[in-house]
Amino acid sequence: MTGGTASTARMEAVVRCLFDEVWNAHRDEIVTELFDPDYRTPAAPGLTGGAAKLAVIRSYRTAFPDVRITVDDLVIGVDQAAVRWTLSGTDTGGFRGRPPTGRTISGWGVEMFGFFQDRIATDWIGADWLGVLIQLGVLADPWISLTSDDREHGR
Amino acid sequence: MTTDAHRELVWRAYDTTFNQRDPSGARDFYADDYRCHMSLHPEPIGFDGLELDGQNILAAIPDVTVTFVDAFGDGDRLVVRHLLTGTHKGSLMGIAPTGKRIAMTGTDIYRFVDGKIAEEWAQPDIFGLLQQLGALPTTS
């Protein structure tokens, strides 16, 4: 790889560190090494860099203190990487200010990372938030009111 | 196949299904034992299920168009973020037509075998779509 770009090995190390060390092992002090100082996420308005990502991770830990995230697949491109992950946890802390339900939830997602030099500068998550909210009982299952025939025909 | 060839294959599958409005015409891009993992469906679906999803989307959003926002890959896998836009003119997932313009992203990983799409993990943003339609189902 040339000067401005992150090596494949570096990107894999950064991404695995985020999930294995920060998410799962709670080594929160590492996170600033993984994110570009200008990283921002709509999930943590007003914060930048590793502090922004950490705020998001901590919001999950508040709701699901036993939260675990596993890396099911990892794809590395040029200055980009993606992870397919599965997140699970038990709602003993209360999700976004709601009373705890005690329910265990699980959902998977695809997270795309953009690198600037050796650090994560952007990320984009496609995940089954609807399924998580249904599992928590926050939302009703929109498919349950459809008969199987309706579902087949999208009515 | 190279990542560029994989990107072209997936693009042709999407372009055929949505922009050319021909879901069945995309069959040749998929392996016979193709499987798609999607939270919307309790079990993985094959091409027939994907074709049905495509027909349902075309019926609900007749002016739908698809674009790729981002795509990259390595080896036998490709990551794609796509965008479907159009007007909600027919019943969609049980929701009566609203006439609203909608934009739905999808974030997907593909695996290829012998020049065909063999497996897909797809995350269409159904939550965001229901928000746009004002149709998030509440429990109370």
Residue of B nearest to A135 (CA): B139
A110 contacts in B (CB within 8 Å)? 79, 107-109, 121, 123
- Containing H/E element for A112? strand A104-116
**pLDDT for res B139:** 67
Residue A92, C-beta contacts closer than 8 angstroms, at least 6 positions apart: A64, A65, A66, A100, A102
How far apart CA A86 and CA A79 sit, in angstroms, is 23
Per-residue pLDDT of chain A (155 residues; tens, 9 = 90+): 444 678 999 999 999 999 999 999 999 999 999 999 999 999 999 999 999 999 999 999 999 999 999 999 999 999 999 999 999 999 999 998 899 999 999 999 999 999 999 999 999 999 998 999 999 998 888 765 554 444 444 43
A35 CB-side CA count, 13 A = 22
- Cα of A18 to nearest chain B Cα, Å: 20
B105 contacts in A (CB within 8 Å)? 126
Q: What share of chain A is helix, strand, coil (3-state, %, to 5)?
A: 35, 30, 35
Cα A42–Cα A45–Cα A48 angle in degrees, nearest 5: 95
**pLDDT for res A20:** 98
Residue B14, C-beta contacts closer than 8 angstroms, at least 6 positions apart: B66, B68, B82
Beta bridge partners of B110: B78, B120
Domains of chain B as residue ranges with CATH: 3-132 (3.10.450.50)
Domains of chain A as residue ranges with CATH: 8-128 (3.10.450.50)
**Beta-carbon separation of A154 and B81 below 8 A:** no
Band (pLDDT 50/70/90 cuts) for residue B140 is low
Mean of the pLDDT values across residues B99-126? 97
Each residue of B100-110: pLDDT tens digit? 999 999 999 99
**Beta-carbon separation of B121 and A145 below 8 A:** no
Closest partner residue to B74 (CB to CB) among A76, A127, A155 is A76
Each residue of B49-92: pLDDT tens digit? 999 999 999 999 999 999 999 999 999 999 999 999 999 999 99
Band (pLDDT 50/70/90 cuts) for residue B47 is very high
A3-7, B39-43, B119-123: which range is least confident on average? A3-7
Q: Which two tokens stand for residue B89?
A: 């003119």
**Beta-carbon separation of B107 and A110 below 8 A:** yes
**Beta-carbon separation of B91 and A155 below 8 A:** yes
